[in-house]
């Protein structure tokens, strides 16, 4: 998702609620790199803008490849037939030559309240956004792929839309297999929906059965093993991640984020699931796992583990070179974290001034 919301901009997830209130919407610009979200936004806007009884008479469809701006302008000037509004749709706006895109946005700044122009595109230049911003009744709908911190929430939303309940490990497996590709995730969820049938509950085993890429170990497996101080499993997962080409520094980043969440969970203490999800900034279906892991730690032990992670991060960024040395430093880190997770009196180490 976008890091900062611009003027007159909402995310696709907010669109349905936004359309439920009366709106003076004349220009809708759907922009983002996720095809699934662009299609979803377009469907919502078409359903809002068209009278279903007369949709065939009041919808003009265009595509950016080979589009003549004059035809769009004429369509926007045409009055609706037996309805309150006419909709003009432009898909793949990014394929139109930049000069024609600017001309179109310039000429259509004064749309009638009986016309709704919908533009779908993967991206807008700053100039194009500025021109569109000048139009009356404009709304930008963000359809970007979710960032790393938001992917799991997006997976949960997709599963909920399909009427499924994902076990935490199943969500992690889908993330590992498909990354932030929501279109791919939606297709996998559709397969899982048919696979689990009436049970509606999806386990990691289900994902691994249907999604071949999910059969490999992931960073989440390593972090889970570390959080349980399971040395043998941690080293086994680490070696498999190394074999798959994972960078030790990236693994440290993932582990650091996880243990920081456990730190917050310890500070939080007893809390209901909704409040815990809000404070920890994790999807609700992951809350129980984090709280369960946090119960095994106190702040002093987490402080020592985070100190180890910080020192390893600094070493890999400056003091350790070569692939063999970096991998060895990663194994040493796993040994120390598991030791600090098990022992109430871990061996002291000088990390003064680094936390």
**Position 56 confidence tier, pLDDT thresholds 50, 70, 90:** confident
Asked whether the beta carbons of 191 and 155 are under 8 A apart, the reply is: no
Confidence label for 348 from pLDDT (cuts 50, 70 and 90): very low
Torsion sign (Cα): 190, 192, 195, 201 = negative
pLDDT tens string 178-222: 777 788 888 889 889 999 988 899 998 999 888 866 656 677 778
- Look at the block and give the residue holding tokens 């032990």: 301
| Mean per-residue pLDDT over the chain, rounded | 85
User: 9-142 in CATH: which number?
Assistant: 3.40.50.300
User: What is the spatial distance between Cα 147 and Cα 160, in angstroms, rounded to a whole number?
Assistant: 20
Q: Using DSSP, state whether 270 is helix, strand or coil.
A: coil
Contact status, residue 308 vs residue 336, Cβ threshold 8 Å: yes
Q: What is the pLDDT of residue 5?
A: 58
3-class secondary-structure state, position 142: strand
Assign domain 219-342 to its CATH architecture: Up-down Bundle (1.20)
- Tell me, what's the pLDDT at 110? 85
Angle between helix 219-227 and 168-178 (nearest 10): 140
Helix, strand, or coil (residue 58): coil
Task: State if pTM tops 0.85.
Answer: no
Cβ atoms of residues 30 and 41 within 8 Å: yes
Q: Are 201 and 164 in contact (CB under 8 A)?
A: yes
Q: Are strands 59-63 and 165-166 parallel, antiparallel or unpaired?
A: unpaired
- Residue-wise pLDDT tens digits, 226-242: 878 888 888 988 888 88
Domain ranges of the chain: 9-142, 151-215, 219-342
At the second CATH level, the architecture of 151-215 is: Orthogonal Bundle (1.10)
Per-residue model confidence (pLDDT) at position 354? 36
**Which helix (H) or strand (E) is 133 found in, with range?**
helix 126-133
């Amino acid at each position: 998702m976008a890091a900062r919301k611009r003027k007159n901009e909402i995310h696709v997830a907010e669109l349905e609620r936004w359309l439920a209130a009366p709106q003076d919407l004349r220009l809708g610009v759907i922009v983002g790199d996720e095809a699934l979200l662009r299609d979803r936004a377009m469907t919502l806007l078409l359903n809002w803008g068209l009278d279903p009884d007369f949709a065939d008479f009041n919808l003009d469809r265009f595509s950016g490849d080979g589009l003549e701006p004059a035809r769009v302008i004429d369509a926007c000037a045409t009055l609706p037939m037996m309805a309150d509004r006419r909709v003009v749709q432009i898909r793949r706006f990014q394929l139109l030559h930049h000069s024609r895109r600017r001309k179109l946005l310039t000429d259509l700044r004064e749309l009638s309240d009986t016309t709704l122009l919908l533009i779908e595109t993967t991206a807008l230049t700053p100039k194009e956004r500025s021109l569109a911003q000048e139009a009356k009744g404009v709304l930008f709908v963000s359809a970007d792929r979710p960032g790393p911190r938001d992917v799991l929430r997006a997976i949960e939303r997709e599963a909920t839309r399909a009427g499924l309940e994902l076990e935490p490990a199943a969500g992690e497996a889908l993330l590992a297999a498909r990354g932030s590709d929501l279109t791919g995730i939606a297709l996998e969820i559709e397969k899982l929906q048919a696979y689990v049938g009436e049970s509606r509950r999806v386990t990691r085993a289900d994902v691994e059965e249907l999604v071949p890429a999910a059969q490999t170990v992931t960073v989440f497996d390593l972090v889970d093993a570390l959080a349980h101080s399971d040395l043998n499993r941690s080293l086994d997962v680490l070696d498999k991640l190394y074999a798959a080409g994972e960078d030790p520094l990236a693994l440290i980043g993932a582990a650091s984020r996880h243990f920081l969440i456990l730190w917050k969970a310890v500070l939080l203490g007893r809390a209901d699931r909704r409040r815990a999800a809000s404070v920890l900034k994790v999807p609700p279906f992951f809350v129980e796992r984090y709280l369960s892991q946090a119960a095994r730690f106190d702040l002093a032990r987490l402080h020592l583990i985070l100190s180890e992670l910080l020192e390893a991060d600094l070493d890999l960024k400056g003091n350790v070179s070569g692939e063999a040395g970096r991998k060895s430093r990663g194994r040493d880190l796993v040994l120390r974290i598991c030791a600090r997770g098990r022992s109430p009196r871990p061996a002291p180490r000088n990390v003064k001034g680094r936390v």
